[in-house]
């Protein structure tokens, strides 16, 4: 299970750094063309707001920092706390977008829901406790 937790933390770190760096340091580009080859999911949802885009970037960078921290400490507690953060964010982020798809082309809406579902799934995986009968659980 630790390998699965480490893989989920590593993928979440990559995702967070990709989105966070792009949104925080290049907000206009992020607004105009995120996620890139899959379409443009942000600009179809309203006018550009640099403050909001940079805040999203900062939040993703914070999640990325926590993901990297869990990889450094590699404890069940670190993975579970990270899972709480990613799952709360993932549920709320997924729910918002699931309720606001009407303005998007069908393929973009499907791609967005898959991408957000994967992000949410990473958080859920990190919440799964380790099953090692010879070792007491930390949580």
Name the strand (E) or helix (H) holding 35: strand 35-36
Question: pLDDT-based confidence at 133, cuts 50/70/90?
Answer: low
CA angle 67, 138, 64 (to 5 degrees): 5
103/43 Cα distance (integer angstroms):
11
Domain range list for the chain: 2-127
**Token couple for 58:** 């900062």
Query: What is residue 136's predicted lDDT score, i.e. its pLDDT?
Result: 59
Q: Over the stretch 65-82, which tens digit does the pLDDT of each residue have?
A: 999 999 999 999 999 999
Query: What is residue 1's predicted lDDT score, i.e. its pLDDT?
Result: 85
Task: Tell whether pTM > 0.85.
Answer: yes
CB 57 within 8 A of CB 24: yes
105/60 Cα distance (integer angstroms):
26
Q: Over the stretch 33-62, which tens digit does the pLDDT of each residue have?
A: 999 887 889 999 999 999 999 999 999 999
Question: pLDDT-based confidence at 137, cuts 50/70/90?
Answer: low
DSSP labels, 51-93: HHHHHHHHHHHHHHHHHHHHHHH--HHHHHHHHHHHHHHHHHH
């Amino acid at each position: 299970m630790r390998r699965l937790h480490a893989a989920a933390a590593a993928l979440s770190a990559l995702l967070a750094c990709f989105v966070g760096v792009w949104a925080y340091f290049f907000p206009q580009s992020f607004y105009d063309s995120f996620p890139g080859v899959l379409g443009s999911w942000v600009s179809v949802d309203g006018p550009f707001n640099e403050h909001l885009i940079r805040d999203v970037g900062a939040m993703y960078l914070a999640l990325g920092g926590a993901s990297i921290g869990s990889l450094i400490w590699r404890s069940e507690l670190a993975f579970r706390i990270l899972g709480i953060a990613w799952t709360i964010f993932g549920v709320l982020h997924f729910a918002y977008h699931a309720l606001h798809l009407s303005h998007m082309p069908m393929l973009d809406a499907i791609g967005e829901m898959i991408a957000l579902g994967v992000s949410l799934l990473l958080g859920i995986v990190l919440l799964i406790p380790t099953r090692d009968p010879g070792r007491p659980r930390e949580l």
